[in-house]
Amino acid sequence: MTARILIVEDHDLLAQSLRLALEADGFEVERATELTKEGIVGAAERMRPSIVLLDLDLGAQIGSSLPLIAPLREFGACVVMVTGAENRVRLGECVEAGALGIVPKSAAFEDLLGAIKDACDMRELLTKAERDELLAEMRRQHAEEEQRSQRFKRLTAREQQVLAALCDGQSAETIAAEGFVSLATVRTQIRTLLQKLGVNSQIAAVALARRAGWRDC
């Protein structure tokens, strides 16, 4: 039976090129034209593809396609990520969510075609060692992020306000004036929050908050 392939890609030229090349090689191919979660899942429900070629980043309307992997697999499809993303934590998240494999957009078309054929034959596109390495790296990063987030939970409501003000570039003097408290009080609050965060300077505290995505700092 000819494999049915659903292409989920927001770059028109790439999607069209993939479709034409795959059809020339004998595959039955469709492209999801409505790039919303409902539109993509609806296309998969109608087509019941053997394989979904899924771009990880689908633009501003959807963003990450990671949440789509599980519902697409529910229709019996093998999900192959075709992506320009190189962040190994994100790639590990795809594997954890059930993606069969990952093919970089920079790969030669022959490599992509080979991966699709392997997927049709239910062959693994990643070795066990590659999967384990991606998952271990992802879990390690998530554990570090959780450890960082725990530091912020130690802050009192007032210390969080002070940190948010520092992230906005306000000085201790401005924070004191706007909070109707003494400068000494604000400096004490800053010292305490630095201790709780395990850093030695306001600059380091702001940098840590930004890395952790704390309050979109």
Q: For 2-56, how does the pLDDT look when each residue is reduced to its tens digit (9 = 90+)?
A: 789 999 999 888 899 889 988 888 889 999 989 999 999 999 999 999 999 999 9
Q: What is the mean pLDDT of residues 43-71?
A: 92
Within a domain: residue 111? yes
Q: Judge contact between 52 and 44, C-beta under 8 A.
A: yes
How many domains in the chain?
Answer: 2
Same domain (yes/no): 177, 122: no
The per-residue pLDDT for 216 is 58
Neighbours of 205 (CB within 10 A): 24
Same domain (yes/no): 204, 116: no
Same domain (yes/no): 158, 112: no
Q: How far apart are CA 184 and CA 46, in angstroms?
A: 66
Within a domain: residue 141? no
Within a domain: residue 43? yes
Q: Give Dmax (Cα) for the chain.
A: 77
Same domain (yes/no): 119, 188: no
Same domain (yes/no): 128, 201: no
Q: Judge contact between 79 and 108, C-beta under 8 A.
A: no
Closest by alpha carbon to 190, among 199, 134, 107? 199
Within a domain: residue 148? no
Within a domain: residue 144? no
Same domain (yes/no): 70, 173: no
Same domain (yes/no): 88, 56: yes
pTM > 0.85: yes or no: no
The secondary structure of 164-198 as a DSSP string is HHHHTT--HHHHHHHHTS-HHHHHHHHHHHHHHHT
Q: Beta-strand (E) ranges in 76-150? A: 78-83, 101-104
Same domain (yes/no): 111, 176: no
Within a domain: residue 48? yes
Same domain (yes/no): 175, 93: no
Q: What CATH number should be reported for the domain holding residue 109?
A: 3.40.50.2300
Q: Burial letters for 177-199: b for 16+ Cβ neighbours within 10 Å, e otherwise?
A: eeeeeeeeebeebbebbbebbeb
Same domain (yes/no): 127, 185: no
Domain extent for 59: 4-135
Summarised one tens digit per residue, pLDDT across range 174-215 is 999 999 999 999 999 999 999 999 999 999 999 999 988 887
Within a domain: residue 147? no
Same domain (yes/no): 208, 160: yes
Q: Burial letters for 101-137: b for 16+ Cβ neighbours within 10 Å, e otherwise?
A: bbbeeeeeeeebbebbebbbeeeebbeeeebeebeee
pLDDT band at 217 (very low <50, low <70, confident <90, very high): low
Same domain (yes/no): 76, 39: yes
- At 126, is the secondary structure helix, strand, or coil? coil
